[in-house]
Amino acid sequence: MMNQPDIEAVFVDALQNIAEGVTDLVGFEVAAISIARDDHTLEMIAVAGSAEARDQLLGRRTPISDIEQELRDAEAWGDLRFVPHERMTIEADKLGWVPDLEPSDDPERWHPLDLLLAPIYDEHGKLRGLLSVDVPHDRRRPGLVMREQLQRYAHQTRRSVLTALERAQLAEQVQLADTARRIVREVSSELSIDRIIEICQPAVATGLGAVGMWLQTFDQDDSSADAVYGATEGEILVPEEFKVLGRGAAELLWATQEVAVVTEEQIPVIGGLVMDVDQAQRLRDFMDTTLEASTMLFVPIGAGQKCLGNLALTRRGPKAEWTVVEQNAALEIGRDLGRAMLNARTFEREHVLLAEVRVLLEEVQELARYKSRLIATIAHELKNPLTAILGHVEMAQAEPTATAASTRPMSAIQRAAVRMRSTIDDLLVLAEVADPDTVLNPAAVDLVKVIVDVLDLLRVNIDEQGLDVVLDLPTKAVYAWGEAGGLFRLCVNLVSNAVKYTPRGGVITISLSHTAQGAQLTVTDTGMGISAEDQERLFEEFFRSTNREAVAIPGTGLGLAIVHRIVERHRGHIRAESNLGSGSTFAVTLPSAP
């Protein structure tokens, strides 16, 4: 209906001109035009001819129901409707103005209570306006010629009135669309459903002229956890049956992309959702007492195929009707809210999942701390008595009275103790590099120099094995960002592993390079290789190969585990490639020094 004064003012002048044309050219002393308002009345907005009539009629409102009753009882003169005074049901004092004419018994004379009307209907058959004329110049009821002239003006009046209403409706649509866009802009960046609702409620209620608003959000996993938010602080206490009913209705409406209007007189049937008489009455009581509303616009909220909630906008009083334009705008807002809520729910789920991951990570780190402390404690407890054993063995072997028979078991004890000490040293290193609380103090470390030092340390073992070491080192230093001690141990373990598992006469190739990912160290041997099954567990603590030849070689199963922990500690990457019987390649990438 027409509520925009600025737009209406443009058309009032046009309608006034039409009314004046009727009085000047058709032969009536008074012509008036009225249009339909939101309160189901016809308001007189243009009056021509009599100044007295203008003063008394302009702005006057008559219930549309009264006019429709008169039209039903009227004589049809083409598009015109004539209501002779003897059929009129509206009381004279409600007409607003009655011409000062002397009634006559002549049936062809114009009676002061006669009505000649041209109703204006829209394309849906709804009464949107009225052209009424009074007091013919000749004081006689109009003949065929006058009726035809009047019908031409009636057609012109219809076009003008409907154009005015269309313009007003368009302006209303633009206003509501602006409200919807503003809501989208405000809530699209919000990642909390509570915050979205806090922003949207006043904007939606104001933009759509609602006196109240409440919103229900659906829990996708548990319908009993659906939340209801009121337009004021806190939650509206909605009976459980209406939560269930609202959810079902919203899902049906979202599937058909429709809204529903609920009034005190009529509760719509949505899809196959039908309420019994008692439930319908309880809903009316709920609207009247809790929501204090005479009408409710019920809007589904969703995104894609998912219905995420519903929105209820309420009105009360004489202007409680919801126009088609408002209903369409509300449905669009439901779509916008759905997209914002879906984004917020996705973020909230990710936030919860991240919190769970953090808790799990803390538990894993705490387990790693406990494991490191346990290993370090056991290793220290074993190291002290082992040192004493080795000391006494050396003393026993140095005794002048020692015989070959006595020194032979002493030598076996010494070899076993040395092997145990090596295992304990590896355990202590593993405990240190695996402890998440150990702080890394990085610096620029020249890996070329580290490799040279490692080869000097292992030179005796390499020569004893008769191995050939091929170095592929750049002429310039290759700097990695890390701890010198940890990187030295990493290189020692990789190279000594290659020496240990490469048969006599084999070749070990060591190369260093700069890559886009960082400093890369590669150690390749021509040894016995590793099976695909063993490669899956290669970096586990205490893992020994299932290959019989590898098992025959003494080892703790901790060397590669230590290498892996050192690489992780330095935020690097290690990759192993091997085929059983044809050697292995270990490639380590470490962050380059800045």
Over the stretch 66-107, which tens digit does the pLDDT of each residue have? 889 888 889 999 889 998 988 888 776 777 788 888 888 888
Structure tokens at 318: 């004489």
- List the CATH number of the domain containing 466: 3.30.565.10
Between CA 420 and CA 386 the distance in angstroms is 8
CA 262/CA 295 separation, integer angstroms? 6
Per-residue confidence (pLDDT) for residue 208, from 0 to 100: 79
| Residue 107 included in any domain | yes
In a domain, 475, yes or no: yes
Helices (H), 399-531: 404-434, 447-465, 484-500
Same domain as 519, residue 542: yes
Check whether residue 130 and residue 55 sit in a common domain: yes
| CB-CB contact of 521 with 590 (8 Å) | yes
Q: How far apart are CA 335 and CA 307, in angstroms?
A: 10
User: How many Cβ atoms are within 10 Å of 476's Cβ, its own excluded?
Assistant: 9
Q: What percent of the chain shows pLDDT beyond 90?
A: 23
Residue 30 pLDDT: 92
Asked, for residue 176, whether it belongs to a domain, the answer is no
Residue 404 is part of a domain; what is its CATH number?
1.10.287
**Is 428 within the bounds of a domain?**
yes
Structure tokens at 525: 């041997």
Query: Considering only 167-181, 322-336, 480-494, 528-542, which range has the smallest mean pLDDT?
Result: 167-181
* Cα(175)–Cα(189) distance, integer angstroms: 23
> Is residue 234 over pLDDT 60?
no
For residues 387 and 482, state if they share a domain: no
The answer to whether position 489 is within a domain reads yes
Kindly tell me if the per-residue pLDDT of 162 is higher than 70.
yes
Q: Do 265 and 368 belong to one domain?
A: no
Half-sphere exposure of residue 318: CA atoms within 13 angstroms, side-chain side: 6
Q: Position of tokens 């567990």?
A: 537
Residue 520 has pLDDT above 70, yes or no: yes
| Residues in the chain, total | 594
pLDDT at 126 over 60: yes
Asked which of 121, 142, 171 is the last residue of a domain, the reply is 171
Residues 240 and 277 in one domain: yes
* Residues 102 and 221 reside in one and the same domain: no
Give the confidence band of 455 by pLDDT, cuts at 50, 70, 90: very high
Instruction: Work out the pLDDT band at 376, boundaries 50, 70, 90.
Output: low
pLDDT above 90 for 210: no
Domain interval for residue 502: 443-590
Question: What values do phi and psi take at 526, rounded to 5?
Answer: -110, 35
For the chain, the 3-state helix, strand and coil shares in percent, each to the nearest 5, are 50, 20, 30
Whether residue 203 is contained in a domain is answered as yes
Residue 232: predicted pLDDT: 47
How far, in Å, CA of 311 to CA of 568, rounded? Answer: 52
Task: Indicate whether 519 and 560 sit together in one domain.
Answer: yes
d(CA 67, CA 118): 11
pLDDT at 419 over 60: yes
Q: Domain for residue 372, yes or no?
A: yes
Identify the CA nearest to 310 among candidates 361, 250, 256, 353: 250
Q: Are residues 316 and 335 in the same domain?
A: yes
Q: How many independent structural domains does the chain possess?
A: 4
Is the predicted pLDDT of residue 6 greater than 60, yes or no? no
Q: Is the pLDDT of residue 12 over 90?
A: no
Q: Do residues 461 and 430 share a domain?
A: no
CA dist 5 and 16 (Å) reads 16
pLDDT for 178-190, tens place per residue?
776 677 667 766 7
Which residue, of 138, 171, 204, is where some domain finishes?
171
Q: Could you tell me the CATH number of the domain that includes residue 85?
A: 3.30.450.40
| 186 and 278 fall within a common domain | yes
Confidence of residue 297 (pLDDT cuts 50, 70, 90): very high
Q: Of 523, 472, 471, 470, give the one whose Cα is nearest residue 500.
A: 523
d(CA 113, CA 107): 13
Judge if 338 and 356 occupy the same domain.
no
**What is the reported pLDDT for 4?**
47
Shared domain check, 305 and 217? yes
**Contact 445/487 with Cβ under 8 angstroms?**
yes
Domain closes at, from 127, 145, 171: 171
Please tell me the predicted confidence (pLDDT) of residue 1: 42
- Both structure tokens of 285: 């009581």
Question: CA 454, CA 315: separation in Å to the nearest integer?
Answer: 85
CA distance 24 to 145: 16
Q: Dihedral sign, CA of 373, 572, 499, 579?
A: positive
Q: What are the tens digits of pLDDT across the range 15-52?
A: 888 888 888 888 889 999 998 887 889 999 899 998 99
> What confidence category does residue 550 fall into, taking pLDDT thresholds of 50, 70 and 90?
low
Q: What percent of the chain is predicted at pLDDT more than 70?
A: 87
CB 71 within 8 A of CB 119: yes
